[in-house]
A and B are shown apart, each in its own frame.
Chain A
């Protein structure tokens, strides 16, 4: 009994809207990001970039730069001949271009100097002689018959051509009452995370060792790539991830910024700090590729999909990056949201002389989902069916395996649909809105981590260590990268819940290769699911040790110990031991306790073998989302106002409803940017929108009210039932928006983003057609 006469009870952490554990440091400005590391002796790093899109490098003359006072190191492509990249089969990108440049902005040299001004001046003094080659800025041009290959090992500039047919597609079309073909085009977009890329690298000349701080989502991959390109043993490198100002996929692979800074530090035998500009961050890119998607869909008259044929082409940029993975996801993620049996896919990832694309939030799924959902909306109109009815008739009838062997263990999409239909007043309002106003629906899904890691090492997917010592603080040691998404908070909640202790007792030490267990990184929404499960196992192991210690002291068997979090006791009348007393008992004879937990995916979730690359798309759990978007369109200017968004996301279990809601809102908002305003544009391969004025991320003013609903389908394998919460709500916005505009104005925009000029063009075309029909 405590002072209030209440029996003690374990403290609940899961399901509580706990503010983020690293919030106070961020709010107070005390959190140190990479660029906040500064030493007066640190040199400034700067990168010289190619002014041409495709050329052989004839010579690089660095003599004038090296002679400039204040310059400590000048490096070129000859610094390393080792390529980097995500997949072992496509490590063809060099941190600094050597024989060839393949896009405007590719690094051709770098300088470390006493100040950034001197470093930039030195870059200007470096003379590069190019022998220009034909350059291709569109997938179409790169695929042309007589096009020169960008890379020797990629004939016809095709990075990967994925083809599969599952089921009987032609038979499916024959069974359809309506076969409809439609085409969508999505512009290339960038993440525009708050923090530009930065690296701070200390080289220890005595020991030939490097300490690297970098703005990354994947310190482990950075570690691997640094070891490779520097040809240094991994044991000589320490990688620390400081606070990171957002990632959204643009830091999911080692970037040239950190690799160049490391090479400069070693060459200068000192510390080098590189903080690149916003333009450089745009050019480093790894955003979502430009893509054309052609979808042919067959439907019965009640809306059931009988077959899908999807052909898509992605403009991947000059290097592979995540390209092979992206084009595989675009196909595999056609499945696992609706009940599909007959699907044909033809996807080409094309190499072009533009900056390399990457793994933007919703990786691989977003553009294809946009086309797919629009096709459903177009067909529902043709068949005179309600878009909700069309979704419902295609819902997956029972849990288990899809036709593509993806494993579905929980499925909250039906409830998501019910919620947004009701919340938006769809039934009462659709078709009855005044002119210029419209509603649209979109559904989407995402994985909770890829079940097969890109680097297969035989290790578990995730490992978490817990340290417990005399002070009674439970320290989580994790390599998982907190990048603002809240992973540290979730791990604290998982551990505190298992132990039933006050979450303020649990602290996190994260992402330092010398201290924390290796982790693959923060991408594909893997951390909550995989690292969360590892944290639960570690906490259970620790709890076992504590219960045993308490049993020893209380002289009972462990089964008779009741763990109440802050109190352990042997019976209800027993006063028990405080947590601190149990800790001291546990330390007797052993000293500091370390408990470990692992997580591994189950083979059933590995995605099958129906086609080459089918493992991409395999996951332990799919999350689901549905959203309704309401818009108002100004008929004179075609300005679109998003009045409101109702979104429901099935995240299995909201471990922290506050951060889940934040993730849902962020996803919707990011989808809105891609749908309405954001696109990169190029002038002869030069990124013309490499700044935040010409690349238009929505502002506060443009942000609609977003009503986020959480659906909890309780995944059987997820940590406390949880699955992904940070990506699935993005993709649905795009088709919901185009469908809402179609509902409002009677025209459907097939090209993203739906800027007012694109929409006005269609409205004028429609008016012209109506006029000439009337005449």
Chain B
């Protein structure tokens, strides 16, 4: 189908102007790479009359080191993150996550800002207008039933961005610009556990840049996702691990997950492993911990129990790999 609803396109050259344009039209949407949103526009999920193209904003795509670490403009392309030497060297999980998003053409268009602000996904939501109508719509959009958990009043649509967990294990912060000025918050605080409303952004607030603090000495990291195909697919489950070892013992361990909940989540309880040796018992315990905290639901065609199994397996596998 060649259907493309009409809309007005603005292309501001500052973030402030973008926010102003956004505030002036309640039907408007920010547009960066558009690789995910335009699909939803064609499906009638999003119906913006105005789109505000962010790609002309000065420095929006810049990747630069500053005193505190690395600053990545929200408009930087995923393909650029995947090959950036500093990111590969200092934050390997971030480069690996960026390289694993969708296919090469998506990465050439898709931005890091878009990937972090990605809408949650569900089999019953990412469908055409006709399809959703035939299914009486759903809690997340136009309907009052959740087809994943009928009877419930919660939406379980899964956050499926790859890069968020990789940045969260580095305690990334994000710079936001809104009608009431700018603020900087931890990336983890951008999200809440609600598939219908998973972003904590205030009305018309815009993600401008991401700050990755200096990586600690000796820290190594990795990201991997489970998917049926080796390319294109969103994660069925994704896992980022950052490990620091000291003399064969765990000095620091952070794990973050994606696609197994409505938000990217840090795994809790890992502090208990500090000082322990990375033996089979510890690795199995890490796997158990991860599996327990992942709560995948039937939001994809692959069964939830498998996604829970596999996210634990990924955490264990990556930890072993990082331990060398």
A positions within 8 Å CB-CB of B: 49-52, 104-105, 116-117, 120, 196, 275-280, 636-637, 639, 677, 679, 681, 683-684, 686, 688-694, 696, 698-702, 755-757, 760-761
Task: Report if B180 contacts A (CB, 8 A).
Answer: no
**Max chain B Cβ within 10 angstroms of own Cβ: one of A276, A280, A689, A693:** A693
In whole angstroms, what is the CA distance A295 to B177 when docked? 66
- Given A677-B228, A681-B301; 4 other pairs, CB 8 A cutoff: A51-B130, A688-B301, A693-B126, A699-B103
Task: Report if B191 contacts A (CB, 8 A).
Answer: no
Min CB gap B321→A, angstroms = 12
Min CB gap B132→A, angstroms = 10
Q: Would B234 and A693 count as touching, CB distance under 8 A?
A: yes
Min CB gap A558→B, angstroms = 59
In whole angstroms, what is the CA distance A104 to B6 when docked? 29
Q: Would A696 and B103 count as touching, CB distance under 8 A?
A: no
Residue ID in chain A nearest B135 by CB atoms:
A686
Q: Would A686 and B131 count as touching, CB distance under 8 A?
A: yes
Task: Report if B147 contacts A (CB, 8 A).
Answer: yes
In whole angstroms, what is the CA distance A704 to B230 when docked? 12
8 closest A-B pairs (Cβ-Cβ)? A277-B1, A701-B230, A757-B306, A51-B134, A636-B313, A699-B231, A701-B231, A757-B303
A688, A756, A760: the one contacting B123 at CB < 8 Å is A688
CB-CB contacts below 8 Å: B1-20 with A: 1-6
Known contacts: A637-B313, A756-B228. The answer to whether A279 contacts B131 by CB under 8 A is: yes
Q: Would A117 and B230 count as touching, CB distance under 8 A?
A: no
Q: Would B134 and A700 count as touching, CB distance under 8 A?
A: no
Residue ID in chain A nearest B306 by CB atoms:
A757
In whole angstroms, what is the CA distance A234 to B113 when docked? 58
A105, A275, A698: the one contacting B2 at CB < 8 Å is A275
Known contacts: A277-B1, A637-B226, A686-B135. The answer to whether A49 contacts B231 by CB under 8 A is: no
Per-position binary interface string of chain B over residues 138-180, scored 1 when its CB falls under 8 Å from any chain A CB and 0 otherwise: 0000000001000000000000000000000000000000000
Task: Report if B232 contacts A (CB, 8 A).
Answer: yes
Residue ID in chain A nearest B232 by CB atoms:
A699
Task: Report if B89 contacts A (CB, 8 A).
Answer: no
Number of A-B residue pairs at CB separation under 8 A? 96
Residue ID in chain B nearest A759 by CB atoms:
B306
Known contacts: A116-B3, A688-B301. The answer to whether A696 contacts B135 by CB under 8 A is: no
CB-CB contacts below 8 Å: B110-132 with A: 123-124, 126-128, 130-131
Known contacts: A277-B1, A637-B226, A637-B310. The answer to whether A683 contacts B123 by CB under 8 A is: yes
Contact residues in A for B249 (Cβ distance below 8 Å): none
Per-position binary interface string of chain B over residues 288-303, scored 1 when its CB falls under 8 Å from any chain A CB and 0 otherwise: 0000000000001111
Q: Would B317 and A636 count as touching, CB distance under 8 A?
A: yes
Contact residues in A for B246 (Cβ distance below 8 Å): none
Residue ID in chain B nearest A698 by CB atoms:
B229
Contact residues in A for B192 (Cβ distance below 8 Å): none
CB-CB contacts below 8 Å: B223-249 with A: 226, 228-234
Q: Would B234 and A116 count as touching, CB distance under 8 A?
A: no
Q: Would A696 and B228 count as touching, CB distance under 8 A?
A: yes
In whole angstroms, what is the CA distance A53 to B131 when docked? 12
Q: Would A756 and B310 count as touching, CB distance under 8 A?
A: yes
B5, B6, B226, B233: the one contacting A693 at CB < 8 Å is B233
Min CB gap B288→A, angstroms = 14
Q: Would B313 and A279 count as touching, CB distance under 8 A?
A: no
23 A-B interface contacts by CB (under 8 A): A49-B130, A51-B134, A116-B1, A116-B2, A117-B6, A196-B1, A277-B3, A279-B130, A636-B313, A636-B316, A636-B317, A637-B314, A686-B134, A689-B301, A696-B229, A699-B103, A699-B230, A699-B231, A702-B231, A756-B228, A757-B302, A757-B306, A760-B310
Known contacts: A696-B229, A755-B228. The answer to whether A683 contacts B147 by CB under 8 A is: yes
**Max chain A Cβ within 10 angstroms of own Cβ: one of B130, B229, B230:** B130
Contact residues in B for A105 (Cβ distance below 8 Å): 130
B128, B303, B316: the one contacting A279 at CB < 8 Å is B128
Contact residues in B for A275 (Cβ distance below 8 Å): 1-2
Residue ID in chain B nearest A757 by CB atoms:
B306
Q: Is chain A's interface secondary structure helix, strand, loop, or mixed overall?
A: loop
Q: Would A120 and B3 count as touching, CB distance under 8 A?
A: yes
A196, A277, A677: the one contacting B229 at CB < 8 Å is A677
Known contacts: A51-B133, A117-B3. The answer to whether A277 contacts B128 by CB under 8 A is: yes
Known contacts: A275-B1, A683-B124. The answer to whether A760 contacts B134 by CB under 8 A is: no
**Max chain B Cβ within 10 angstroms of own Cβ: one of A117, A699, A757, A761:** A757
Residue ID in chain B nearest A275 by CB atoms:
B2
Contact residues in A for B234 (Cβ distance below 8 Å): 693
In whole angstroms, what is the CA distance A677 to B2 when docked? 28
**Max chain A Cβ within 10 angstroms of own Cβ: one of B1, B5, B6, B123:** B1
Contact residues in A for B147 (Cβ distance below 8 Å): 683
In whole angstroms, what is the CA distance A563 to B23 when docked? 82
In whole angstroms, what is the CA distance A636 to B237 when docked? 14
Residue ID in chain A nearest B316 by CB atoms:
A636
In whole angstroms, what is the CA distance A679 to B313 when docked? 25
Min CB gap B303→A, angstroms = 5
Known contacts: A49-B130, A689-B301, A757-B302. The answer to whether A699 contacts B3 by CB under 8 A is: no
In whole angstroms, what is the CA distance A205 to B163 when docked? 59
Known contacts: A684-B135, A755-B302. The answer to whether A696 contacts B233 by CB under 8 A is: yes
Residue ID in chain A nearest B4 by CB atoms:
A117
In whole angstroms, what is the CA distance A196 to B2 when docked? 11
Residue ID in chain A nearest B317 by CB atoms:
A636
Min CB gap A55→B, angstroms = 12
Q: Would A693 and B135 count as touching, CB distance under 8 A?
A: no
Task: Report if B309 contacts A (CB, 8 A).
Answer: yes
Contact residues in A for B226 (Cβ distance below 8 Å): 637, 639, 756
Contact residues in B for A677 (Cβ distance below 8 Å): 228-229
Q: Would B303 and A693 count as touching, CB distance under 8 A?
A: no
Min CB gap B115→A, angstroms = 16
Residue ID in chain A nearest B303 by CB atoms:
A757
Q: Would B230 and A694 count as touching, CB distance under 8 A?
A: no
Contact residues in A for B124 (Cβ distance below 8 Å): 683
In whole angstroms, what is the CA distance A430 to B57 when docked? 61
In whole angstroms, what is the CA distance A49 to B147 when docked? 22
Contact residues in B for A690 (Cβ distance below 8 Å): 127-128, 131
In whole angstroms, what is the CA distance A677 to B230 when docked? 11
Known contacts: A49-B130, A116-B1, A690-B131. The answer to whether A701 contacts B229 by CB under 8 A is: yes
In whole angstroms, what is the CA distance A686 to B134 when docked? 8
Per-position binary interface string of chain B over residues 268-303, scored 1 when its CB falls under 8 Å from any chain A CB and 0 otherwise: 000000000000000000000000000000001111
In whole angstroms, what is the CA distance A760 to B310 when docked? 10
Contact residues in B for A117 (Cβ distance below 8 Å): 3-6
Min CB gap A163→B, angstroms = 36
Residue ID in chain A nearest B287 by CB atoms:
A636
In whole angstroms, what is the CA distance A698 to B228 when docked? 9
Min CB gap B284→A, angstroms = 12
Per-position binary interface string of chain B over residues 309-324, scored 1 when its CB falls under 8 Å from any chain A CB and 0 otherwise: 1100110110000000
**Max chain B Cβ within 10 angstroms of own Cβ: one of A689, A756, A761:** A756
Residue ID in chain A nearest B128 by CB atoms:
A279
In whole angstroms, what is the CA distance A321 to B303 when docked? 32
Residue ID in chain B nearest A697 by CB atoms:
B229
Contact residues in B for A692 (Cβ distance below 8 Å): 232
Contact residues in B for A636 (Cβ distance below 8 Å): 310, 313, 316-317
Min CB gap A696→B, angstroms = 5
B127, B300, B306: the one contacting A756 at CB < 8 Å is B306
Min CB gap B173→A, angstroms = 32
Q: Would A52 and B134 count as touching, CB distance under 8 A?
A: yes
Q: Would A700 and B313 count as touching, CB distance under 8 A?
A: no
Q: Would B135 and A699 count as touching, CB distance under 8 A?
A: no
Q: Would B228 and A760 count as touching, CB distance under 8 A?
A: no
Contact residues in B for A681 (Cβ distance below 8 Å): 301
In whole angstroms, what is the CA distance A523 to B3 when docked? 32
In whole angstroms, what is the CA distance A196 to B300 when docked? 24
Min CB gap A426→B, angstroms = 27
Contact residues in A for B228 (Cβ distance below 8 Å): 677, 696, 755-756
